Each structure stands twice: as C-alpha cells, then as structure tokens.
C-alpha cells in the first residue's frame, strides 16, 4: 500500500535506473487509467512520452512524476495497489499492466495497478506545479510551524486531518497510526484541541516514521514492491498498525481498535492521551 515512503523508494529506484533513457514505444491496455489536463495539441502517445527522453523524477506526498524532454510530465498516482516496474517484455503483458513504455535500451517500464485506484495524468510542468500546489506541505520535510498551520484549525479528528492530502501530503492509514502512537496522541482527539507541544510531537513523529520507512525500503503489506520487484522491509517494524488486540510494545497494554475517519485505527489506550 504505497504511502510516501513507498513512493519515494520507487522514485529513487527509477532515478537510478532510467534517467537519460528515451521512450520508443507506448502501449495503453486500459484507456481509463490515463488522463490529460489542459488543451494540449499533442497526441496521447506524445503526452505519454513517445520519443521523449526521461530527464528526471519528482515527488510530492504520494504523487510521483516522470519529467521528460519537451516539457512533458507524467504524473503517477499509485492508489493502493499501483506499482511502476522495470523489466523485460514479459512484465509489459502481465495481468493489470495498464500502460507500458518501451525504452531505447530494450527494457520496459510498466504501470501495474490491479485495483485501479491509481492513475496517470499527462501535463506540462506548469500544470504539474499547479496541481501539487493544491496539496498540503510534503510530510517528509514539513516544519513544525508548517504542520501546525496546516492542521490546527480544523475540528476534525487529528488522524483525519493528517491523512487529508490537502492539509498534509503523504500520510495514509498506516503511518498515521504509527506517528500518532510515537507522538502519544489519541487518533480521535480533535485537531483543534491538540496542544502546541502535541502538534510538535506529531510533526516530529511523522517525519521520523516516514524517514525510517524509507531507510527500510518501504512497508510491504500485500501489494507493494520496488521497481525491481523486491519487497520492502518496514512492515515488521510497525508498532500499532495491524496489531489490534496485541500488547503495546511500550507498556504491554492491549491495543484497541476502532473506526476513525472511515479507516481502521489502532492505538494504545495508555500511551496515547
């Protein structure tokens, strides 16, 4: 389930593997996965990078972008089961491989997304910038002040606020629970009822849990893999996510679970206030 750390691991993997490559063929297996913004005169194949060179990668929150020559940007939203995989022609025709780019070197870059909560949008760099401006600050680099400004004025539960991509970009269900546990704050506490110290602790915990997960190569729960297909190593390190009914790693109290912001939520009733 890609959240910010998984997206960043994918971005780094691609950055090391495909920069400078030229796209020589684009095939779309499923039309509705691809969208274009603006009124570009390019053909769809050109919008998807045909005959363009991959010059860079970028990320904001969970959004990933391939930056190509001729001011062409391909934004990828991985949803919950999306992957970008690099391999030979076999992966280009595998199940749920919706878009495949053939690179000049002979390899294929494939967007695979069984559940199709993700998608691809073609745009210019100006359109990409405008799109990402509508998101909150990136959760990996957010300052304590930026975090406080983003979430402190809403009456929603703090967990709902930090998962709202327009408030803070990059945190999903897994890392929301992990960060709130590290910060010692109950997920159902109203955001506007959190103290300055609590908000600071949450901001620090968000940065820490995301950084640790990136170092571990991301959390592989079910669907996630790095571009080379290998698994991430962070899942074993979860302190609360998926551990409802088990003992708190800090105090031994049985972890509780409930539904907050429409998502399964796990917390320690003793460590989190």
Partner DNA sequence: AGGATAGCCTGCGGGC
Partner DNA sequence: TGCCCGCAGGCTATCC
Stretch that binds DNA, among 66-74, 170-178, 204-212, 245-253 (CB under 7 A): 170-178
Question: What is the Cα–Cα distance from 149 to 159, expressed in whole angstroms?
Answer: 16
Paired tokens of 253: 């109290």
- Point out the catalytic residue in the list 59, 62, 207, 243: 62
Q: Where are the alpha helices (DSSP H) in 1-79?
A: 4-18, 44-47
Query: Any catalytic annotation for residue 39?
Result: no
Question: What is the Cα–Cα distance from 114 to 169, expressed in whole angstroms?
Answer: 24
Residue 258 touching DNA (CB under 7 A): no
For residue 220, the minimal CB distance to DNA (Å) is: 13
CA 208, 232, 186: angle at the middle one, nearest 5? 40
For residue 114, the minimal CB distance to DNA (Å) is: 4
Q: Could you identify the residue written with the tokens 């991985």?
A: 78
Half-sphere exposure of 181 (CA within 13 A, CB side): 25
Stretch that binds DNA, among 9-17, 99-107, 168-176, 201-209 (CB under 7 A): 168-176
Query: Any catalytic annotation for residue 2?
Result: yes
Among 31, 197, 262, 273, binds DNA (CB under 7 A): 262
Among 3, 8, 138, 188, binds DNA (CB under 7 A): 3
Max intra-chain CA distance, the chain: 61
Paired tokens of 6: 């998984």
E strand or H helix at 76, and its extent?
strand 72-77
Stretch that binds DNA, among 16-24, 102-110, 141-149, 158-166 (CB under 7 A): 158-166
Residue 160 touching DNA (CB under 7 A): yes
Let me know: does 9 contact 211? Beta carbons within 8 Å.
no
Q: Which value, in Å, is the radius of gyration of the alpha carbons in the chain? A: 20
Paired tokens of 113: 């997304």
Residue 77 touching DNA (CB under 7 A): yes
Let me know: does 170 contact 210? Beta carbons within 8 Å.
yes
For residue 65, the minimal CB distance to DNA (Å) is: 13
Stretch that binds DNA, among 38-46, 50-58, 103-111, 152-160 (CB under 7 A): 152-160
Residue 96 touching DNA (CB under 7 A): yes
Sequence length of the chain is 273
Residue 1 touching DNA (CB under 7 A): yes
Among 163, 180, 210, 268, binds DNA (CB under 7 A): 163
Residue 58 touching DNA (CB under 7 A): no
Of the candidates 118, 84, 106, 107, which has an alpha carbon nearest to the alpha carbon of residue 12? 84
Contact string 31-50 vs DNA (x = CB under 7 A): --------------------
Query: Any catalytic annotation for residue 3?
Result: yes
Residues taking part in catalysis:
2-3, 62, 263
Residues at the site binding DNA, with contacts judged by CB under 7 A: 1, 3, 61-63, 77, 79-81, 95-96, 114-117, 154-157, 160, 163, 165, 172-174, 222, 241, 261-264
């Amino acid at each position: 389930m890609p959240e910010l750390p998984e997206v960043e691991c994918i971005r780094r993997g691609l950055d090391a593997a495909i920069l400078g490559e030229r796209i020589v063929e684009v095939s779309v297996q499923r039309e509705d996965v691809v969208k274009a913004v603006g009124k570009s005169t390019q053909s769809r194949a050109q919008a998807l990078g045909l005959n363009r060179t991959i010059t860079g990668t970028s990320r904001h929150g969970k959004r990933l972008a391939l930056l190509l020559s001729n001011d062409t940007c391909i934004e990828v939203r991985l949803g919950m089961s999306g992957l970008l995989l690099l391999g030979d022609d076999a992966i280009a025709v595998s199940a749920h491989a919706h878009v495949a780019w053939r690179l000049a070197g002979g390899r294929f870059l494939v967007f695979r997304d069984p559940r199709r909560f993700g998608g691809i949008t073609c745009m210019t760099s100006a359109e990409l910038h405008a799109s990402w401006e509508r998101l909150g600050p990136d959760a990996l680099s957010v300052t304590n002040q930026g975090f406080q400004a983003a979430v402190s004025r809403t009456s929603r539960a703090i967990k709902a606020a930090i998962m709202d991509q327009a408030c803070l970009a990059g945190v999903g269900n897994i890392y929301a629970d992990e960060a709130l546990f590290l910060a010692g704050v109950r997920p159902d506490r109203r955001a506007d009822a959190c103290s300055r110290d609590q908000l600071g602790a949450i901001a620090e915990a968000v940065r820490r849990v995301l950084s640790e997960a990136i170092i571990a190569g991301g959390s592989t729960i079910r669907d996630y893999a790095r571009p080379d297909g290998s698994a991430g190593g962070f899942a074993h390190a979860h302190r609360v996510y998926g551990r409802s009914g088990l003992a708190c790693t800090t105090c031994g109290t049985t972890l509780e679970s409930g539904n907050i912001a429409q998502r399964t939520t796990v917390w320690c009733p003793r460590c989190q206030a």
